[in-house]
Amino acid sequence: MAKTIEELRAIREKMRGQIDLRQKGEDNLRVVVGMATCGIAAGARPVLHAFTEEVRRRGLNNVTVGQAGCIGLCQFEPIVEVYAPDAEKVTYVNMDAEKAARVVAEHLVNNRVVAEYTVGAVEGLK
Amino acid sequence: MIRMNFVRNHVLVCAGTGCVAAKSKEIMDEFQLQLEKQGLTDEVKVILTGCFGLCALGPIVVVYPEGAFYSELKVEDIATIVEEHILKGRVVKGLLYHETVQEGSDTISGLNETSFYKKQVRVSLRNCGVIDPENIDEYIAYDGYEALAKCLTEMTPEAVIDEILKSGLRGRGGGGFPTGLKWQFAAREKSDIKYICCNADEGDPGAFMDRSVLEGDPHNIIESMAIAGYAIGASQGYIYVRAEYPIAVERMNIAIAQAKEYGFLGQNIFGTGFNFDLEVRLGAGAFVCGEETALMMSIEGNRGEPNPRPPFPAVKGLFGKPTVLNNVETFTNITWILLHGAEAFAAMGTEKSKGTKVFALGGNITNTGLVEVPMGITLREIVDEIGGGVPNGKAFKAAQTGGPSGGCIPCELLDIPIDYDSLISIGSMMGSGGLIVMDEDSCMVDIAKFFLDFTVEESCGKCTPCRIGTKRMLDILEKISEGHGTMEDICALEELSAHIKENSLCGLGQTAPNPVASTLAHFRDEYEAHVLEKRCPAGVCKNLLQYFIIPEKCVGCTLCKRVCPTDAIVGEVKQVHEIIQEKCIKCDACREACKKFNAIVKR
């Protein structure tokens, strides 16, 4: 089917969402999910899925979702770290898919750290 | 487990010719296999892409979003990458291109920070190694076909030509004629039928930039040719590509089919009433068919021989109609100029040569590959910084640009800024962009002989100066390299050079003497050493060499005697050996065998 200019631009918009992965912006947020054996056993994969799905659904072009190995706090897995330019790294612990969705909505979109999920809020950890 | 439709990693596998030869197809299959094994196929997209340029380190794979640049991969490495990097998120440092790894740090530096890429500016190659060339949607994602849409709906043909004129773009195929002017001449001709041709008959030994563009970004050529068609009033185009480029031909045909499906080729494009169609024509590998008039003869179905100009193709070209013929690399700049503006393009480069130029870097150089640099960069920057210098501790001797039409540039001229005019002023030329680096072991007489041998083979024979003149020059060069040359021969070479240059019919003959003339100008002492001292300083010309055994170093191990294919070495165990010169064929086997004692020398 012959395309109109509008259709050309629609394809471009749709495809841009897919290729953003290959372009690193300056203001990128990076979400890293701990995916070592301990993390996977504790349920890191659904967390990773929830993050990527939520980021995609909201069309957050400035967020990349990646993985890391064992962070070293295996009892608190799944652990997720959020890196933002010019800000301290934020570490979320004992994550699940629902918490992931909330972190995307509050932290990634509105820049409000979800304090109650962070490692600092966990009792007994100094 | 719930499967969701998302992709979190892109794996880009280089499918340029170099990497395909280095088994990148097998690597791609192995990725699919390993991803299936780990249950990751839904999350990871594996994409074949065009040339990254660093062909020396192929096969190359880049994994996003990390941008991890893996080089020199083997099929058995893939399982490690999938398990460690893609499943567990740990980049496999040991397999990365070493320049992107920083000691003692976990972050990998971007490709653009490596010395190979740092000074490069990618205009022509902007999509190579970035998109999947067999997927039109990926090309569209990077603003593909937007320039065509803009031209057809917002610009008059005159405005398009004006923009190209203002950009200062000059033909990248060799001659450097202003592209805008060429278009203007053809646009002014009154004719109901006009043609656009793309010259993809890349024939220079060692040049592969056009091939890489066709393989890595074929839609760019289609879009630019359609724009050219709109500008001059043509509705038919031909891409003349050599049959020796099977991957390029295949991808070009896929791209044309996709563009037709989307209506970017065919009737009434974007509903504007503009029609343009495109066909691929295969060349049979004759070098002369890269010359524009011979190329058009070949498309017409005739024997590929050049015709005198004028009339120029813009007036009377293909099938006798006004025709614009541009080189592949020239076309790749058209879309960029229309998207970013003539000013942005003219801001790059030198006063008379704007934009960038792609070079195929080869020969005695560490980073063999494809580089794109702004005009005006020095050869030294390309060779030493981007190319990583001459390997194996050898000294740089000369750089050869322009293939058989170009010349050799000696060390002392390495600091001149590269553009069309400066290269011609030192007896070479831009050509299509082959750049061959030679180290101290290269003999300049031998190099000149190599290129002359090529032109003699490829001369179509239509005009006498080229057909007979180049043959006579080759005869003289052979005589010199065999040790029978006289000083009169050198004079004859110079005289023939001037004659052939002035009197040949087409560019092939007119530039054929350049390799001889430039080596004579810059390395005359080497010619004289061959003639007067019967000596080849680089130790290449076999007839001028002799192998000797240094008696003090020889321990009589008999190794050399055993490897000699002509029984030219005599001597008993534990006694000094000797080479019988009459029998020696200078195969170098004995010297290789004696590496431990270094008792055999050539001089």
Angstroms from B140 CA to nearest CA on chain A: 5
In angstroms, the separation between the Cα of residue A111 and the nearest Cα of chain B is 22
A53 found inside a domain: yes
What CATH number is attached to the domain comprising A72?
A: 3.40.30.10
CATH classification for the domain delimited by B356-439, as one of 3.40.50.1370, 3.10.20.600, 3.20.20.70, 2.60.120.10: 3.10.20.600
List the single residue in B4, B65, B269 with the smallest CB-CB distance to A21.
Answer: B65
What residues does B213 pair with on adjacent strands? none
In DSSP terms, which residues pair with B62 in a beta bridge? B12, B69
CA distance A50 to chain B (A): 9
Q: Do B12 and A22 touch (CB under 8 A)?
A: yes
| Residue A6 covered by a domain | no
Q: Residue B586 gets which letter from DSSP?
A: -
Per-residue pLDDT reduced to its tens digit, B486-499: 999 999 999 999 99
Of B28 and B109, which is predicted with more confidence?
Answer: B28
Task: Tell me which range, B98-102, B130-134, B235-239, B361-365, is most confidently predicted by mean pLDDT.
Answer: B235-239
The domain over range B444-532 is classified in CATH as 1.20.1440.230: yes
Name the residue among B66, B140, B146 with its Cβ closest to that of A66: B66
Question: Residue B419 above 50 pLDDT?
Answer: yes
Query: Where do the DSSP E strands lie in B183-336?
Result: 195-200, 236-242, 266-269, 274-283, 323-327
Cβ atoms of B32 and B72 within 8 Å: the answer is: no
Question: CATH says B546-602 is which class?
Answer: alpha beta
pLDDT tier at B3, thresholds 50, 70, 90:
very low
Nearest to B148 by CA among B55, B48, B33, B231: B231
In DSSP notation, B460-506 reads -SSSHIIIIIHHHHHHHHHHHHTT---HHHHHHHHHHHHHHHHH-SS
ipTM of the complex: 0.82
Partner-chain residue, chosen from B1, B87, B138, that has the shortest CB–CB distance to A19: B138
- Chain segment B222-276, per-residue pLDDT in tens: 999 999 999 999 999 999 999 999 989 999 999 999 999 999 999 999 999 999 9
Tally of structural domains, chain A: 1
Indicate the CATH number for domain B9-118: 3.40.30.10
CA distance B63 to chain A (A): 9
Please state the CATH superfamily assignment of the domain spanning residues B136-346 in this structure: NADH-ubiquinone oxidoreductase 51kDa subunit (3.40.50.11540)
In angstroms, the separation between the Cα of residue B455 and the nearest Cα of chain A is 45
Q: Is A8 on the interface with B (CB under 8 A)?
A: yes
- Residue from the list A1, A21, A45 with its beta carbon closest to the beta carbon of B64: A21
Q: Which residues of A touch B65 (CB under 8 A)?
A: 21-22, 24, 64-66
Q: Pull the structure tokens for residue B529.
A: 């050493």
| Ramachandran angles phi, psi of B307, nearest 5° | -120, 155
Residues of A in contact with B261 (CB under 8 A): 1
pLDDT of residue B505: 94
B304-336: per-residue pLDDT in tens? Answer: 999 999 999 999 999 999 999 999 999 999 999
The answer to whether B137 contacts chain A (CB < 8 Å) is yes
Contact B38, B73 (CB under 8 A): no
Encode pLDDT of B189-203 as tens digits. Answer: 999 999 999 999 998
CA distance B82 to chain A (A): 13
Is B88's CB within 8 Å of A4's CB? no
Which residue segment(s) compose the domain that A82 sits in?
24-121
Axis-axis angle for helices B524-532, B514-522 (nearest 10)? 90
Confidence category of residue B2, pLDDT binned at 50, 70, 90: very low
Percent over 70 (pLDDT), chain B: 98
Angle between helices B218-232 and B146-154 (to 10 degrees): 10
Cross-chain residue pair A21–B6, CB shorter than 8 Å: no
Q: Where are the domains of chain B?
A: 9-118, 136-346, 356-439, 444-532, 546-602
A2 touches chain B (CB under 8 A): yes
Q: What is the pLDDT along chain A (126 residues), one digit of tens a residue?
A: 688 999 999 999 888 877 777 765 556 788 888 877 788 888 888 999 899 888 888 888 778 887 777 777 778 889 998 988 777 888 999 999 999 999 999 998 888 899 889 888 876 554
A56 touches chain B (CB under 8 A): yes
- What residue of B is the nearest CA neighbor of A5? B270
Do B10 and A22 lie within an 8 Å CB cutoff? yes
What does the pLDDT read at residue B1? 32
Q: Is B369 helix (H, G, I), strand (E, B) or coil?
A: strand
Q: Which residue among A16, A18, A35 places its CB closest to the CB of B89?
A: A35
A62: in domain: yes
Look at B65 and A45 and tell me if their CB atoms are within 8 Å.
Answer: no
pTM (predicted TM-score):
0.86
